[in-house]
A and B are shown apart, each in its own frame.
Chain A
């Protein structure tokens, strides 16, 4: 079945460590997105990518980095510069020209 896989589901890291969240899709979608969700808040856009080797900052990109070396993959690195990284992270993808977004099941990151 086609879909988006985010791994791991739960992630714990010590403060000051970089951590990379995985997002893989087999839908042949062109565009991919990373969103952050905090309790009681909606989703906020971190980064997005329309095509391979190209990506743009979203509304809250500081302290995060991404890469898009393959169409299927859009990993997100949460760096030590991110002041409050504990949150729920959702990856999404979309086929160009279609209105539908597909979301992964999310990664809950806890920094201690």
Chain B
């Protein structure tokens, strides 16, 4: 079963409008973390925002905010005032912790391709 689900393969938004990218996750752990990354066509992964499972406030970073609804296991990314440069792939990812050795890994969703129209 998928641990990170992004149900929107593609999204379109007009420049200067806000857009919400959906992400739901599946975990039975109490401690976890959720990331959003942006991947432009060049391929690098750009960190946008992070939300820890114990954080009571929704995370915000400039024009990015994370709408964290723990009971629904959702962590949607909201981009306000979209810009043409926001056109890219967006990935939601979750930190998975291994009980032994203190190791962890990131599990990714399949991504959403965002296109900002002028």
Q: Report which A residues bind B (CB closer than 8 A).
A: 31, 33, 35, 40-45, 48, 50, 56, 58, 88, 90, 92, 94, 96, 99-101, 103-106, 108
Contacts and interface: CB of A to CB of B under 8 A. Distances in A.
Interface in B83-118: 91, 93, 95, 101-111
B110 A40 contact: yes
Interface in B3-36: 4, 9, 33, 35
B102 A58 contact: no
A108 B102 contact: no
Nearest to B91: A42
A42 B107 CA distance: 9
Nearest to A106: B43
Category for how many chain B residues contact A: 20 to 34
B44 A42 contact: no
B81 interface: no
Contacts of B47: 100-101
Contacts of B101: 50
Q: Is the interface of A mostly helix, strand, loop or mixed?
A: strand
Interface of B: 4, 9, 33, 35, 42-45, 47, 50, 52, 91, 93, 95, 101-111
A58 B67 CA distance: 30
Contact of B4 (A42, A88, A94): A42
A42 B45 contact: no
B92 to A, nearest CB: 9
